Amino acid sequence: MTTEWVPQACTLPTAERPLRVAEFDGLFASAVRGVDRVAGGLRLALTPTPEVAATVAGLAARETGCCSFFTFTLTATAGALELGIAVTDGHDDVLDALAARVGT
């Protein structure tokens, strides 16, 4: 599993990066119902269950701990669950790589 797209700003130890990528890939494969590329980020429609919400919240919290250039917004409304993903200026390549992993 390649992680060359991970920027130098990421403080996650190199040995742990493939595991984190696998977590995102697992989430994308099991819970993503739709993807939209929006100005400044991505919007993922997710399977609206408490389990998915908890998984996403935990993953987002851990990811912002090592990659402060990410902003994750988890929204649950009217039976829908959505994850917004944005990056700071200069990290569009990371967002592009993440979008490719989701399958946009």
Stretch 61-67: mean pLDDT, rounded?
A: 88
pLDDT higher than 90, residue 47? yes
pLDDT above 70 covers what percent of the chain? 88
Provide mean pLDDT across the span 20-34. 90
In-domain check, residue 22: no
Identify whether 23 is part of a domain. Answer: no
Q: Does residue 61 form part of some domain?
A: yes
Domain count, the chain: 1
The per-residue pLDDT for 40 is: 81
Identity at 55, one-letter amino acid code: T
Q: Give the single-character DSSP code of 2.
A: -
| Helix, coil or strand: residue 92 | helix
d(CA 31, CA 48): 9
For residues 46-72, average pLDDT: 93
- Which residue type occupies 24? F
Residue 70 lies in a domain: yes
Please report whether residue 54 resides in a domain. yes
Supply the range of the domain harboring residue 69.
37-102
What distance in Å separates the CA atoms of residue 25 and residue 22, rounded to the nearest whole number?
5
